[in-house]
Structure 1
Amino acid sequence: MSQMSFHSPIGELSIAEDNGFIVSVDWGWGSIQEETPLLIKVKKQFDAYFDGQLKQFDLPVRPFGTNYQLKVWQALQAIPYGETRSYQDLVKIAGGSPRSIGGANGANPLPLIIPCHRVIGKNGLGGYSGGEGLETKEYLLNMEHLFK
């Protein structure tokens, strides 16, 4: 597995590639650094995303999760840039409950690429486990709204 880390407006991010697929995006600086053509492409797409020039990532991804998580993550990828959906909206698509949608969001191995930050509660933002939590979620939603 190859990994590359970089600085972003929401902190340090590390991306990992395995057999030609992106398998994780993590906050923090990874201990192993190995640039590959795919990881360089991912970094360029992240830069374009944060500059408001990229609305949807176009990358080979392979998130590992349960069948239910995969179904939720697929539904997340259908949420357009700059828009949000409620946990209840996703229940109608993927089944389960708002709590199980939240659990799948929290287990998302590819945040930003699979935009779990676009899911909000009926009475507020809901939660977010990436970066600085809700501060990071607010930043991402505001950035997307600005560049929409």
Structure 2
Amino acid sequence: MDTSPGIPGAASTLNAYHWQPGWGWIEAQFQNGALIRLAFADAPSLADPSLPSVIPAPASLRELLDAYFSGRPIAARDALQRLPIRLQGTPFQKRVWAALTEIPYGKTTQYGLLAQRLGSAPRAVGQACKANPVAILVPCHRVLAATGLGGYGGLRSGPAWSRKEALLHLEGAL
């Protein structure tokens, strides 16, 4: 699922972008021009002081997220083709993340159904969703438990969990 260009042996550059599009802070990290992390945050991360602070994110990412948060459907596969993304994880996690991109905007599936399709267990799928480094564009929020929303980011309550519900309402899936 690596859609990014890479130059073997080239020096690595890491850039972080933080902005607040109305849904709270979002942090995007790019390595060598490829998106490696997209996450909601309570505030901009200051974990690495060498990274730039609040600066504009690349236009392609801003356009995708502006469209999404305005309620316009974006297809995950289309987004992944417009924006270079490098997902780092286990082979199983990458299989789950690839399957997540096939869930259409405004639709949901269940952990159990996705696990059955991948020949795995629902809990393993849930753990891969929890480890998803690229929120929204790899739409783990579209996976539900058999008995309700399930978790989000490993939580079953609080602001992060409420965000899952809000994203699904935005998409018209709830």
Per the normalisation by structure 1, the TM-score is 0.89
- Residues 64, 74 of structure 2: 8 Å contact kept: no
Amino acid corresponding to residue 24 of structure 1 in structure 2: R
Matched with 2:71 is 52
Residue type at the aligned position of 1:144: E
The one of 121, 140, 158 equivalent to 1:116 is 140
Structure 2 partner of 1:12: 25
CA–CA separation in structure 1 for the residues paired with 2:140 and 2:65 = 16
Larger radius of gyration: 2
Picking from 19, 22, 25, the partner of 2:38 is 25
> Which residue does the alignment assign to 2:15?
2
Identify the match of residue 98 of structure 2 among 70, 74, 77.
74
Determine the C-alpha separation between the residues in 2 that align with 1:129 and 1:10: 16
Pairwise CA RMSD of aligned residues?
Answer: 2.0
The DSSP-based 3-state class of the residue aligned with 2:159 is coil
Alignment size in residue pairs: 145
Give, in angstroms, the shift of residue 59 of structure 1: 1.8
- Name the % identity: 34
Instruction: Judge conservation of contact 1:16–1:39 (CA < 8 Å) in 2.
Output: no
Specify the alignment match of 2:9 in structure 1.
none
Unpaired stretches in structure 1, ≥5 consecutive residues: none
Question: Secondary structure at the residue paired with 1:3?
Answer: strand
Rounded Cα–Cα distance in structure 2 between residues aligned with 1:51 and 1:64: 29
Which structure 2 residue ranges, 5 or more long, are not aligned? Answer: 1-13
Q: Secondary structure of 1:91's match?
A: helix
- Could you tell me whether the CA contact under 8 Å between 2:73 and 2:105 is conserved in 1? no
Give the Cα–Cα distance (whole angstroms) in 2 for the partners of residues 43 and 33 of structure 1: 17
Contact preservation (8 Å) 1:16, 1:23: yes
Q: Distance in 2 between matches of 1:54 and 1:145?
A: 10
Instruction: Give 1:87's aligned residue.
Output: 111
Return the offset for 1:54.
4.0
Distance 1:140 1:13 in 2: 14
